Structure 1
Amino acid sequence: MKLSDQIIEEARSWLGTKFHHQGRLKKSKDNCGGCDCIGLIIGIAAKFKLLSKQSDNLLLKDCDNTSYPKIPNGTSLYTKLSLHLQEIEINQLQYADILLFNFNDNPQHVALVSNYITYNNDQIFSIIHAYIKARKVVEHRLDTIWKKRITAVFRFRELY
């Protein structure tokens, strides 16, 4: 199985994990877990020992920082993502990429791109993310409303 498919499969295993600001814990049969949007990405990166683009010895999970406010500073989130992940053009979007979304004129939310299967077996882009409004990790189509919010697209080093 391709790494991008494995990453999406892992992200789906987080579905239903409760939203918890600065959380990094995937749900289990004994625990409802808790994560926020970047915590989900860190959890996936930890599972596959994904690396920062900065060094062959720097794991993304070791770049994690949980000292951020509930509504993060968009500039610092973008800076941190671009420091450790490869920024790509929106027209190069592929499964397992990471989207940075704008809310209230600030880039402050991330999601993993996944492959939603429609009723007639077409694959379309969807996103998996810890969404505060849903209070858990969810997957849904990347519709027009969400597409308009995209500020930047990033890719894990191992996928470029």
Structure 2
Amino acid sequence: MSEREQIIEEARSFLGVPFQHRGRSRSGLDCVGLLELVGLAVFGNKIELGAYPRHPSSRQVFEQINKYADRIEGSQARPGDLVLMNYGGRSTHFGILSDKGVINASAIEKKVVEQPLFLGRIVAYYKIRGVR
């Protein structure tokens, strides 16, 4: 199984887990917690984006994700890559691209979901360093 397939499989194993701001377990997690736990399971280390408030600044988000991933064009994005989305006027919500859309810990849905990707919300795509 490729690393990309492992990323998707691991992310899907969290479907239905309740949303919890700064949560980092199967009892509850947020969008960063999902990235951290998937990274830990697939790569053996967390993608740590550091401490952040309920509504972090876009600058904080860009600085942190750039430590682990490289920005790519949308035409290059594939399942297993990351997508940064805009919610509430802030570019602060991450998801993992899948063949069906995006897997993310949704505060709106109150759980981890896989849903269609809303192109109007996309701010940037990222490829985790080392993933082929």
Structure 1 spans left out of the alignment, 5+ residues: 27-32, 51-58, 117-125
Q: RMSD value over aligned CA atoms?
A: 1.5
Deviation at 1:39, TM superposition (A): 0.5
Q: 2:102 aligns with which of 121, 127, 132?
A: 127
Report the AA paired with residue 128 of structure 1: I
Moved over 3 A (4+): none
Percent identity, aligned pairs only, is: 33
1:92 aligned residue? 76
Structure 2 spans left out of the alignment, 5+ residues: none
1:123 aligned residue? none
Which of 1 and 2 has greater Rg? 1
2:53 aligned residue? 69
Report the AA paired with residue 5 of structure 1: E
Deviation at 1:91, TM superposition (A): 1.2
- Map Cα deviations across residues 125-154 of structure 1 (whole Å, 9 max, x no partner): x10000001110000111xxx211111111
The alignment's TM-score, normalised by the length of structure 2, stands at 0.92
Q: What is the number of residues matched between the two proteins? A: 132
The alignment's TM-score, normalised by the length of structure 1, stands at 0.77
Report the AA paired with residue 137 of structure 1: V
Report the AA paired with residue 126 of structure 2: F
Q: 1:148 aligns with which of 112, 120, 126?
A: 120
Deviation at 1:64, TM superposition (A): 4.1
Deviation at 1:100, TM superposition (A): 0.4
Report the AA paired with residue 108 of structure 2: K
